[in-house]
């Protein structure tokens, strides 16, 4: 019998090491013979990558908070239809660097309390949660310094600074408490290899 698909997401503040850990987890599962799709948000499909450029580059003030929620949700819907759902239906493991929890945090909290709008749109247009969410939790100052040490075009949210990082960290920990069945919190302040070891142990126990 073929193995069922598994949907794993990584969440956390900017610079927490999600992308690095997502790549390492993908390589590990592939070495065990699992068919893996490594993807990211915003993005992960042709249309969603186009929307990524709209939300992460250019003058952020050209979008109202509500329009921004619609753009992130539109990108997610396309990603789900074209990349995530087909891969899960084919029994693959989908590893996604950020998903709907990021919208709950960044769009739900950073420009006023818009979480109810985010949740309503989510249930209308997305309607699914990951099987497992790994929250890489870490000191906000350290995360910011790591994120700023990289030069990328997608600088929109890094510009919000340490205050937003601290608010997002608290928010992500609250989300982990809100969805305890699927969230696992990993200590991202540790050396890279130790974080990877914790990620692999956590995923292994979820797979079994
Ligand atoms: N966003 C949103 O607002 N709403 C949404 O719905 C979604 C996203 C889905 C995407 O930016 C932005 O979009 C994001 C939220 C918003 N912005 N913020 N904030 P992105 O995709 O460009 O970036 P990111 O998702 O925030 O992640 P990142 O900046 O790429 O960082 P990361 O993936 O968490 O970390 P990393 O790239 O793996 O590591 C950063 C550096 O630290 C790198 O040099 C590593 O080698 C190093 N590192 C990592 N771990 C360690 C440890 N343990 N020790 C030492 N050094 C380490």
Q: Quickly list DSSP for 143-182.
A: HHHHHHTS--S--TTGGGHHHHHHHHHHHHHHHHHHSTTT
- Whole-number pLDDT of residue 145: 83
pLDDT attached to residue 158: 58
Question: pLDDT tens across 161-194, in order?
Answer: 788 899 999 999 999 999 999 999 999 999 999 9
57-112 confidence digits (pLDDT tens): 999 999 999 999 999 999 999 999 999 999 999 999 999 999 999 999 999 998 88
| Cα distance between residue 105 and residue 101, in whole Å | 6
Q: Is residue 172 within 6 Å of ligand 1 at its C-beta?
A: no
Q: Is 165 touching ligand 1 by the criterion CB < 6 Å?
A: no
Q: Whose CA is nearest to atom 22 of ligand 1?
A: 154
CA of residue 195 to ligand 1 center, whole Å: 15
Distance, CA 143 to ligand 1 centroid (Å)? 8
What average pLDDT does the chain have?
Answer: 93
CB of 20 within 6 A of ligand 1: the answer is yes
Contact 171, 105 (CB under 8 A): yes
Say what the pLDDT of residue 90 is. 98
H-run or E-run covering 110: none
Instruction: State the pLDDT confidence band at 159, using cuts at 50, 70 and 90.
Output: low
Please give the number of the atom of ligand 1 that sits closest to the Cα of 42: 9
pLDDT tops 70 at residue 155: no
Return the residue matching tokens 């945090």: 105
pLDDT of residue 207: 77
What distance in Å separates the CA atoms of residue 93 and residue 38, rounded to the nearest whole number?
8
Domain extent listing, the chain:
6-207
Atom of ligand 1 nearest to the CA of 194: 53
Residue 59 tokens read as: 């003058």
Measured from the Cα of 72, ligand 1's closest atom is 6
How close is the Cα of 16 to the center of ligand 1, in Å?
A: 6
Lowest mean pLDDT among 47-56, 63-72, 123-132, 160-169: 160-169
The whole-model pTM stands at 0.95
Domain 6-207, CATH homologous superfamily name and number: P-loop containing nucleotide triphosphate hydrolases (3.40.50.300)
147 vs 1, more confident: 147
From ligand 1's centre to the CA of 186, what distance in Å? 15
pLDDT confidence of residue 1: 53
Residue of minimum CA distance from atom 41 in ligand 1: 146
The three-state secondary structure class of 115 is: helix
* Range scoring the smallest mean pLDDT among 17-21, 61-65, 117-121, 204-208: 204-208
Distance 6 CA to ligand 1 centre (A): 22
SS3 content of the chain, % helix, strand, coil (to 5): 60, 15, 30
Q: Where are the beta strands (DSSP E) in the chain?
A: 6-11, 36-40, 93-97, 132-137, 183-187
Q: How far is the CA of 80 from the centre of ligand 1 (A)?
A: 21
């Amino acid at each position: 019998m073929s193995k069922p698909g598994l949907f794993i997401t990584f969440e956390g503040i900017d610079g927490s090491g999600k992308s690095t850990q997502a790549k390492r987890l993908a390589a590990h599962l592939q070495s065990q013979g699992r068919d893996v799709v490594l993807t990211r948000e915003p993005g992960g499909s042709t249309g969603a990558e186009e929307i990524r450029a709209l939300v992460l580059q250019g003058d952020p003030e050209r979008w109202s908070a509500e329009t921004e929620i619609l753009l992130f949700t539109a990108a997610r819907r396309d990603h789900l239809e074209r990349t995530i759902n087909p891969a899960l239906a084919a029994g693959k493991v989908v590893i996604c660097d950020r998903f709907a929890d990021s919208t709950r945090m960044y769009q739900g909290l950073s420009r006023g309390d818009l979480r109810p709008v985010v949740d309503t749109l989510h249930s209308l247009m997305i309607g699914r949660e990951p099987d497992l969410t790994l929250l890489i939790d870490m000191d906000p100052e350290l995360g910011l310094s790591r994120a700023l040490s990289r030069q990328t075009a997608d600088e929109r949210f890094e510009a919000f600074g340490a205050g937003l990082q601290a608010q997002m960290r608290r928010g992500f920990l609250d989300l982990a408490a809100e969805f305890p069945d699927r969230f696992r919190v990993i200590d991202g302040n540790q050396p890279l290899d130790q974080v990877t070891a914790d990620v692999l142990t956590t995923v292994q126990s979820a797979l079994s």
